[in-house]
Structure 1
Amino acid sequence: MSQADGVLRRRPLWSLGLLRSEIGMTFRRWRTLALLAVLAGVPVLVGIAVKIETGDGGSAGGGGGEGGPAFLSQITNNGLFLVFTSLAMTLPFFLPMSIGVIAGDSIAGEATAGTLRYLLVAPAGRTRLLLVKYATTMTFCLVGTLVVALSALLTGAVLFPLGDVTLLSGTSVSFGEGLLRALAIACVVALSLIGVAAVGLFISTLTTSGIAAMATTVGLLITVQILDTIPQLDAIQPYLFPHYWLSFADLLRDPVYWDQLQKNLGLQALYAVVFGSAAWARFTTRDITA
């Protein structure tokens, strides 16, 4: 066995230094900062719109229902509900679109820039590089979700009163417990995007064009969302990754309904395993020099 082969065999599968470098590079890009700015701006626009609409004493969004409409009608009573409303409004499009851009560009963008071969010549390794790219995308999932939640919390605190939280089941909890539930919801929303991240990563391994990978990922996301709204396709909808996204609303019940939440996280894990494995199979056999 040659010395080079020995170095390759001793090379660890994970590198914290490589992960730090990748995360730093990703969050220094203007595109990433612009995506985070858009995500932060959504709660501000929603809060201002609700404030203007209710300035004459009216109510926002009507009442009843679950998800966005139910949260929207509660914002004027408690600014914390702006967090739940903003997450419900950004989850169907803004958050997954942002994840699609980051994931789609992860491998294909390096190929477009001509840096992919350099990364693989350096002691990175294909499997380790793929894991780092996916971990970076998941970091963006969490950061993007927290940006929405924090922006909504600050906007809600400025424009509306804060206090005890009335859950969807009618139970009233303290503001502190409401904050904890808001944090739990943000974490669930971030985990709800791991399927999109895996799909985007797989698509990114199929092409050398970052723009094509991003466009394909976002286009697929829109297509799947449309399929999830067609009643005639109800047989396949439980297997589509966005189907259980709004199940996070069940964390605002007492007791919490775990059934839909478990189905959502299980489905996301399945997508992560299937498309993550497909991305690994494609990337480890891909001719980088082509």
Structure 2
Amino acid sequence: MDGSRHWADVIADNVTAIRKKHIIATGITPSGNIHIGNLREVVTADAAYRALCDAGIDAKLIYIADTFDPLRKVYPFLPEDYSEHVGKPLYAIPCPCGSCANYAEHYLKPFFRSMEALDIHPVIYRAHELYAEGDFVPAIMTALSNRDKIAAILEKVSHRAVSEEWSPFNVMCEACGRIDTATVQGFDEDNETVDYTCKCGYAGTVPVKGNGKLTWRVDWAARWSILGVTIEPFGKDHATKGGSYDTGIRISREIYNYEPPYPIIYEWVHLKGKGAMSSSTGVTITIEDML
């Protein structure tokens, strides 16, 4: 990279040689306080966006809030009664303070205020709304139809075994509301439905629209084509050999017939003596604190 020029300008040159219109994507799972480590990704995306705009290129900056991701566990900053919500999507869990629409919004609202203060103005998408509106339905049905091919890609690239029960689609159980405890038993391509059984004992059939989400590595590749993403910054963990981006490249090209976005890889932000910042552990400095 030319040391005399800003890195974002060099990236702008690189990507405009590929195409003349760009969508830069960024996003995060709002599992806890969104911190300055998360901000690094957004600022990186915004810098690329501004460089493209300065060069006269048609560009758009988008932010995807992963509100359909489940609560993984009762984090240290949560009361114990949140144990009943483990496994449920973040948008379907009560707000910790009681003043926001849901758990996800509790952490997104201050983050969005901070972006406004920093003059960063992406188009904002909430993942659960994209799924509810049907944007992902074609991608879900394609993934279900290509389950074995996707499983082979995951095993070959990530060197991890994929179980016989694995499905690229996680169903949200109608009974318990969890999105990580059901097993897909079959699907109907014409009616766009899935049959499932859940660990809670319930079994049912639901339309794929709004009733579940693609697994992470498949979801990431699918959203590139759905939203037209051409550039995306992400942390070094996703960029490791056999990581999410490597599998995403194959899934995007071979399943969704879409060229994966230009990657901008960044390092994590650490707190001295505490390690990498993490929303789920509470090791954070929020953007509002910084401002």
The TM tier, using the shorter chain, reads under 0.3
Query: Which one has the bigger helix percentage?
Result: 1
Larger Rg computed on CA atoms: 1
Query: Which one has the bigger strand percentage?
Result: 2
